[in-house]
Amino acid sequence: MSRFFNVARGVAWRSIHNTVVNPAILVPSIVFPLFFLIAFAGGLSRISDVPNFNYPPGYTAFQFVFVFLQSAAFGGVFTGFAIARDFDSGFARRLLLSAPRRSGIIAGYAIGALLRWMLTGTVVTIAALIAGMNVNGSGIQLFGLIGLGVAMNLAAALWACGVAMFLRTEQAGALIQMPVFVLLFLAPVYVPLSLLTGWIHAVANLNPVTPVLEAGRGLLAGSPVKVAIAFAGLAGAAMLLTAFARRGLASAEKAG
């Protein structure tokens, strides 16, 4: 186990170091969520006047939960980009040869994704509070919202890790990003699920991200809903995607 933790720690440290010293990686991961928060919470704030909107903390809080969880998911996706770059540069292959416990590589990338997202999530939260976001949830409920973000980040990181290790090229970027992007934006982004109509309501109702969003918004509002369903879904996704990431690692090992 000590060799596993040594590998995980080394990969995580390198991932964080590369993020901090490289503005091309750090700045977009912070700027994009802030842009979405401003565009959605500010530019679309009149949506809260729609009849039956009924979200007590207000529209800024409603959109904050989406941006918070979106930043968690994209934080995991960006890890896949980093892994793909490592394969293109040859570093990942040297890492596979030198690591005594290769499963620690997946853990290290996942930890790096979480630590990077913690920075982004903190900045987004501070920006929302400065913008006047109301918080009705208790401390335990807010801790639950953070837990949803952590689980979302882990699931996205495992997905990105698996795809990047199967394909081992930066050209995998679109395949890593698009499924996560589509799932997020086919959820109830701008209004509650009850106000959606037509095919988008049917799709959002089946979307596994929807209960996570609803749970997060309920926790922030102090009225928890679907929390158990959201955590169970994310836990199940994490278990399946762990197996997927390990298969990707095995594929990379065979490729040499």
Express each pLDDT in 158-201 by its tens digit: 999 999 999 999 888 899 999 999 999 999 999 999 999 999 99
pLDDT tier, 253 (very low <50, low <70, confident <90, very high otherwise): confident
The percent of residues above 90 in pLDDT, for the chain, comes to 67
Q: Judge whether residue 125 has pLDDT over 80.
A: yes
**pTM recorded for the entire structure:** 0.93
Span 53-62, mean pLDDT? 91
**Local structure of 113: helix, strand or coil:** helix
Host domain of residue 54: 2-255
Q: What pLDDT shows up at residue 222?
A: 95
Number of domains in the chain: 1
**Local structure of 189: helix, strand or coil:** coil
**Local structure of 98: helix, strand or coil:** helix
Q: What pLDDT shows up at residue 245?
A: 96
CA pair distance 185, 148, nearest whole angstrom: 17
Q: What pLDDT shows up at residue 256?
A: 65
